[in-house]
């Protein structure tokens, strides 16, 4: 499969009647493609895939999930955002190698980081050699596998939220206000839930919701330990919403998991989006929703060294406002 073939699979959803739009931009300026199924009013959830370059099979899974939901008109209330490929630059590198990399110096540093090989099929990072799923501001830099220098995987970036793809996903999430998120990764057939420092009540809530995902897929549910800086971790810590990482594809399959394995992965995950939306609706009163005004999102604002990230400052501001409003409304 080439990168363009992958993108075409996403764009083909337009032939079915779905609208494809941009959720943000990559470092190299590629659009981060997204769609929405269901109603824009009511409870929303967000499902994202392809944040790790070699895990592009998850983008194709999301295409099938979105198509199935849309064509069967399955959603009766609320809606689901799908962000198909959060790391398009990385996926292009995995699928097409260095062919379309614009600068010689970029080609050189990517090759050096890749042990002088031009086979990038196992590459996970973005084009800046940052592992995007370690770059979020949620106990950033405290993960057991974290790496401090540019690398094909596990490099956390020089500071949290340094990467354009991460900022894009944060901005988009704050704008569409999901009550639950799912991140699709490969591999191992497990579901991760929870995060360090989460209170008991919300751990119990996330466990209860997660058990329904576990039943449906057959994947065991595991509490997250020793892993930080992921999108899921950020959603739990900063937004206090239930958030999950699904690792699809049998552990014995080699990376990258290819399209031949999609039917089995899809079969196990076909109904996850609808069940997730219905769980978010069922539990909405127990989810500490953050009201947010679109104009408060400062796009592209950079992290202040020695300060807190934009998402951190924004989230605490909104929480204070939310608490103030609810204490006033009780009076
Ligand atoms: Zn991954």
pLDDT recorded at residue 313: 67
Q: Is residue 152 part of a domain?
A: no
Is the sign of the CA dihedral 218, 224, 229, 231 positive or negative?
A: positive
Q: What's the rounded mean pLDDT across residues 203-217?
A: 98
Q: Between 306 and 62, whose confidence is greater? A: 62
Q: Is residue 293 part of a domain?
A: yes
Q: What's the rounded mean pLDDT across residues 309-325?
A: 67
pLDDT of residue 207 exceeding 70, the answer is yes
Q: What's the rounded mean pLDDT across residues 82-104?
A: 96
301 alpha carbon to ligand 1 midpoint, in Å? 26
The proportion of the chain whose per-residue pLDDT surpasses 70, expressed as a percent, equals 87
Is the sign of the CA dihedral 260, 101, 150, 194 positive or negative?
A: negative
52 alpha carbon to ligand 1 midpoint, in Å? 5
Element (H, E) at 60: helix 57-71
**CA distance linking residue 163 with residue 210, whole number of Å:** 29
Nearest to 101 by CA among 209, 79, 113: 113
Spatial neighbors of 240 by CB under 8 A, at least 6 apart, are 202, 287, 288, 290
124 alpha carbon to ligand 1 midpoint, in Å? 7
Q: Is residue 109 part of a domain?
A: no
pLDDT digits (tens, 9 = 90+) for 29-53: 999 999 999 999 999 999 999 999 9
φ, ψ (nearest 5 deg) of residue 282: -60, -40
The proportion of the chain whose per-residue pLDDT surpasses 90, expressed as a percent, equals 85
209 alpha carbon to ligand 1 midpoint, in Å? 22
pLDDT recorded at residue 288: 75
Q: Are 65 and 182 in contact (CB under 8 A)?
A: no
153 alpha carbon to ligand 1 midpoint, in Å? 10
256 alpha carbon to ligand 1 midpoint, in Å? 11
41 alpha carbon to ligand 1 midpoint, in Å? 31
323 alpha carbon to ligand 1 midpoint, in Å? 35
224 alpha carbon to ligand 1 midpoint, in Å? 14
- Which value, to the nearest 10 degrees, does the dihedral of the CA atoms of residues 9, 99, 96, 101 take? -80
51 alpha carbon to ligand 1 midpoint, in Å? 7
Largest CA distance in the chain: 66
Q: Is residue 9 part of a domain?
A: yes
pLDDT digits (tens, 9 = 90+) for 218-273: 999 999 999 999 999 999 999 999 999 999 999 999 999 999 999 999 999 999 99
pLDDT of residue 302 exceeding 60, the answer is no
118 alpha carbon to ligand 1 midpoint, in Å? 21
253 alpha carbon to ligand 1 midpoint, in Å? 14
77 alpha carbon to ligand 1 midpoint, in Å? 30
Containing structural domain, residue 292: 3-93+163-330
154 alpha carbon to ligand 1 midpoint, in Å? 10
Q: What's the rounded mean pLDDT across residues 61-69?
A: 98
DSSP 297: -
pLDDT recorded at residue 301: 41
Instruction: Give the pLDDT band of residue 294 (cuts 50, 70, 90).
Output: very low
136 alpha carbon to ligand 1 midpoint, in Å? 14
8 alpha carbon to ligand 1 midpoint, in Å? 22
Q: What's the rounded mean pLDDT across residues 78-82?
A: 97
Q: Is residue 56 part of a domain?
A: yes
pLDDT recorded at residue 123: 98
pLDDT of residue 309 exceeding 70, the answer is no
Structure tokens that stand for 140 in this block: 């950033």
**CA distance linking residue 23 with residue 323, whole number of Å:** 29
pLDDT recorded at residue 304: 43
pLDDT of residue 293 exceeding 70, the answer is no
Q: Are 247 and 190 in contact (CB under 8 A)?
A: yes
pLDDT of residue 16 exceeding 70, the answer is yes
300 alpha carbon to ligand 1 midpoint, in Å? 24
pLDDT of residue 318 exceeding 80, the answer is no
Per-residue CA distances from 9 to 19, 58, 320 (Å): 14, 12, 43
Element (H, E) at 216: helix 200-217
Q: Is residue 216 part of a domain?
A: yes
Structure tokens that stand for 285 in this block: 């009163």
331 alpha carbon to ligand 1 midpoint, in Å? 47
β-sheet bridge partners, residue 96? none
- Into how many domains does the chain fold? 1
260 alpha carbon to ligand 1 midpoint, in Å? 19
pLDDT of residue 282 exceeding 80, the answer is yes
pLDDT digits (tens, 9 = 90+) for 168-196: 999 999 999 999 999 999 999 999 999 99
Sheet strands (E) in 72-226: 79-83, 181-186, 190-193, 221-223
CATH number for position 179: 3.40.630.10
112 alpha carbon to ligand 1 midpoint, in Å? 22
Cβ atoms < 10 Å from Cβ of 326: 11
Q: What is the pTM of this model?
A: 0.91
129 alpha carbon to ligand 1 midpoint, in Å? 15
Q: Is residue 304 part of a domain?
A: yes
Q: Is residue 153 part of a domain?
A: no
């Amino acid at each position: 499969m080439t990168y363009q073939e992958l993108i075409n699979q996403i764009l083909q959803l337009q032939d079915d009647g779905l609208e494809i739009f941009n959720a943000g931009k990559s470092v190299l300026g590629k659009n981060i493609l997204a769609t929405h199924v269901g109603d824009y009013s009511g409870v929303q959830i967000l499902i994202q895939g392809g944040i790790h370059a070699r895990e592009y099979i998850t983008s194709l899974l999301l295409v099938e999930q979105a198509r199935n939901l849309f064509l069967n008109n399955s959603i009766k209330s609320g809606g689901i955002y799908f962000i198909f490929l959060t790391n398009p630059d990385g996926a292009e590198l995995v699928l097409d190698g260095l062919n379309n990399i614009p600068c010689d110096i970029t080609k050189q540093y990517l090759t050096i980081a890749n042990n002088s090989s031009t086979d990038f099929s196992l590459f996970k990072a973005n084009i800046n050699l940052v592992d995007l799923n370690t770059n979020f501001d949620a106990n950033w830099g405290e993960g057991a596998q974290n790496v401090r220098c540019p690398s094909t995987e596990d490099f956390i970036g020089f500071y949290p939220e340094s990467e354009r793809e991460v900022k894009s996903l944060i901005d988009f999430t704050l704008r569409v206000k999901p009550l639950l998120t799912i991140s699709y990764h490969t591999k191992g057939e497990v579901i991760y839930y929870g995060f360090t420092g989460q209170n008991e009540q919300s751990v119990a809530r996330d466990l209860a919701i997660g058990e329904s995902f576990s039943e449906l897929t057959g994947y065991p549910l595991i509490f997250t330990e020793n892993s930080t800086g992921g999108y899921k971790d950020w959603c739990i810590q900063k937004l206090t919403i239930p958030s999950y990482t699904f690792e699809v594809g049998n552990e014995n399959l080699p990376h990258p998991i290819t399209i031949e394995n999609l039917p089995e992965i899809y079969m196990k995950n076909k109904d996850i989006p609808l069940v997730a939306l219905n769980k978010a609706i069922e539990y909405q009163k127990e989810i500490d929703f953050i009201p947010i005004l679109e104009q408060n999102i400062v796009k592209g604002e950079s992290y202040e060294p020695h300060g807190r990230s934009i998402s951190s400052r924004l989230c605490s501001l909104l929480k204070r406002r939310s608490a103030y409003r609810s204490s006033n409304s009780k009076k």
